[in-house]
Structure 1
Amino acid sequence: MREKVSFISGGVACAAWHYPGTNGGCVVMTGGFAVTKEPGTDRFAERFNAAGFSVLAFDHRNFGESAGEPRQVARIPDQLDDWRAAIAYAAALPGVERVAIWAFSLPGGYILQLASEDLGISAAIAQSPNVDGPTVTRNASRYQTPGAALRLVGRAILDNLGALVGRKPRLVALAGPPGTVALLNTPDAQQTDEALDPDNRYRDWQQTLAARSVFPAALYRPTKYAPNVRCPLLYVVCEADQSALAAPAVAAAKRTPTAELLQVPGGHYAPFLDAHEQVVEAELAFLTRHLSGKNQSPSADKSPQTAA
């Protein structure tokens, strides 16, 4: 059972699903960059809730069911403010005593920055996180044709100029094959629909992003926050990840004071595909240790290996 709720962030109403729980722990969640709450969190949120945790899964402003204009524009400072508002809202929900945060891909990088702040977070999970935008961008460029790369840069420049005079965003696809103008052209990005919407349930999910949001994402580097993380943080790293890369995340885990590291085979979306059961069981075990007050998850018999 879940219910629609909303909270205010920066004067904007952010829409969320609230799954009431029973064990005092609440997991705040979003999907990946420009991925709305349903395709991005449903499968994990349902499992967390079935184990007794409350869940608050929300859309960033300008996306999904949340308010905000212009649509499909992702401003990283605004999205971080949405997270802070969501954490405060979750902490005030009835029966909630401890709060954890969970996200993947670029918002998985947000997890490091948020966990380094004094927000009262008890645990955090960064799944397939992009923690080093410049390194990831250089790698992703290997899978793009020069012509399409130039068109993407040109569209981003024009969109930023248009933003100065209030023009509507110029959109790009979140993923596409090499030669198309898209945020990602990596091999595992081609599995987006298979991983997040295999049954075509989420027909309202607009798989686009304002081109003006591309440059800030490419420059965002949350790995610098790793040494300052204040709570236990589980890194779930996919060994063949070409969209977020494994090596920067593993390096960040080694510099995080209370990190745990789970490495699984497969690409960026392995936690939604072949590695789903292994990942969700490990995440449940981690949440149970740090959020529910119990010593061990009844459904999880494997714990992630300790990285630091």
Structure 2
Amino acid sequence: MSVSALREKVRFISGGAECVAWHYPGTNQACVIMAAGGAVTKEPGTDPFARRFHEAGFSVLAFDYRHLGESGGHPRQVVPIGEQLDDWQAAIAHAATLPEVDPAGLAIWGFSLSGGHVFPVAARNPHLAAAIAQTPLADGPTATRAAARHQKPLAALRMTGRALLDAVGQLMGLRPLLVPLAGEPGTVALLTTPDSIDGDRALNPDNAYPEWQQTVAARTALSLTFYRPGRHASRIACPLLVLVCDQDQSALPEPAADVAGRAPHGELVRMPGGHYEPFLDGYERAVDAELAFLYRHLPTGHAG
């Protein structure tokens, strides 16, 4: 059966704008709410894992943040962290209204930047049954310093200048200055870490998602530099699975592992590879670990 036959498009409102999501109706009354990494749309960023969760009986609600993909909101290709956290709240509220879903069986899943968002969202929603953070950005300042070692000085200055110009342009109501999500060292891109350039191969094999615009507002670099979602670890009441890759040079494994250690019900899974390994050769290992976690902690358990 094709993926399109398994899911339907739904919409909900966040901050006065429309968010668009894929709803996969499940059979076991539990629901996994999903969002992709920074400026990654719902299809390349969630399809492989959403399909497997759905095959296991879970409902899935996989959404685009405002300003990205099929969701509304202007300007486009911006990643305002506060708004994205609000979009999570709207998505959780919408998932609880789905006809086949028991509101006591809601879980959240995110990777990369959205994996970092999982921490404050879980802390804010103690009623959640479970949360999964896959290769999450847990500490922006630490990740930014580490990533700078993989960029050439002149390109770093050009990127900083573009980010500052974009931030000033935002105040003046100008269109965002866009940069690629990833690039080789010496290019102006959000990330130039060695594993960042695996993103297209991992998420968009054979150009399966040609509509995914792999750019983002340059100002994003400034907001990520100060974002420390891991500080919410001690307030996460639900079971939390943190999956890290030991050679992750984009989000870094140790700050995320520290969150798992400090969360009251944290669990840590480590695997070899870089930032996108769970979408590459490590996919089966990652999805198996996440399904086992969902089976253990969602109140409806294994449907099969």
Q: TM-score, normalized by length of structure 1?
A: 0.95
User: 2:147 — aligned with what?
Assistant: 140
> Which residue matches 1:20?
25
Q: Please state if 1:237 is matched with 2:244.
A: yes
Shift of 1:12: 0.3
**CA RMSD in angstroms, aligned pairs only:** 1.1
Q: Retained in 1: the 8 A contact 2:65–2:84? A: yes
Displacement of 1:266 in angstroms is 0.4
Counterpart among 151, 158, 174 of residue 165 in structure 2: 158
User: Counterpart of 1:262 in 2: which secondary structure?
Assistant: strand
Kindly indicate whether residue 189 of structure 2 is the aligned counterpart of residue 182 of structure 1: yes
Alignment of 1:217-256 (within 5 A): 217-256=224-263
Partner of 1:71: 76
Aligned to 1:103: 110
Quote the Cα distance in structure 2 between the aligned partners of 1:297 and 1:99.
15
Post-superposition Cα deviations, 1:158-194, rounded to whole Å, max 9, x if no partner, equal: 1111111111100011000000011110011010111
Q: Do the aligned partners of 1:48 and 1:55 also contact (CA within 8 Å) in 2?
A: yes
Post-superposition CA distance 1:8-37 (Å, at most 9, x none): 000000010000000011000011000000
Q: Counterparts of 2:299 and 2:23 in 1: how far apart (Å)?
A: 18
| 1:1-308 equivalent positions in 2, closer than 5 A | 1-97=6-102, 98-118=105-125, 120-294=127-301
In 1, the alpha carbon distance for the partners of 2:204 and 2:42 equals 12
Letter paired with 1:55: V
CA offset at residue 297 of structure 1?
8.2
How many residues align? The count is 297
Contact 1:121 1:231 in 2 (8 A): yes
Determine the C-alpha separation between the residues in 2 that align with 1:142 and 1:118: 37
Query: What is the deviation of 1:119?
Result: 5.4
Q: 1:184 and 1:145 mapped to 2: Cα distance? A: 12
Question: Which segments of 5 or more consecutive residues in structure 1 lack a partner in the other structure?
Answer: 299-308
- TM superposition shift of 1:293: 2.4
For residues 84 and 167 of structure 1, the distance between their equivalents in structure 2, rounded to whole angstroms, comes to 29
Which amino acid in structure 2 is aligned with residue 284 of structure 1?
A: L
Measured after TM superposition, the shift of residue 214 of structure 1 is 1.6
What is the TM-score when the length of structure 2 is the normalising length?
A: 0.96
User: Secondary structure of 1:7's partner?
Assistant: strand
Q: Which amino acid aligns with 2:62?
A: A
Deviation at 1:118, TM superposition (A): 3.0
Q: Is the 8 A contact 1:239 1:266 kept in 2?
A: yes
- The answer on whether the counterparts of 1:105 and 1:129 sit within 8 Å (CA) in structure 2 is yes
- Maintained 8 Å contact 2:183/2:191: yes
Give the 4+ runs in structure 1 shifted more than 3 A: none
Identity %: 60
| Cα separation, 2, equivalents of 1:139 and 1:86 | 33
1:261 & 1:212 partners in 2: Cα distance?
32
Q: Could you tell me whether the CA contact under 8 Å between 2:27 and 2:303 is conserved in 1?
A: no
On the 8 A contact 1:115/1:124 being kept in 2, the answer is yes
Answer whether contact 2:37 2:115 (CA < 8 A) is retained.
Answer: yes
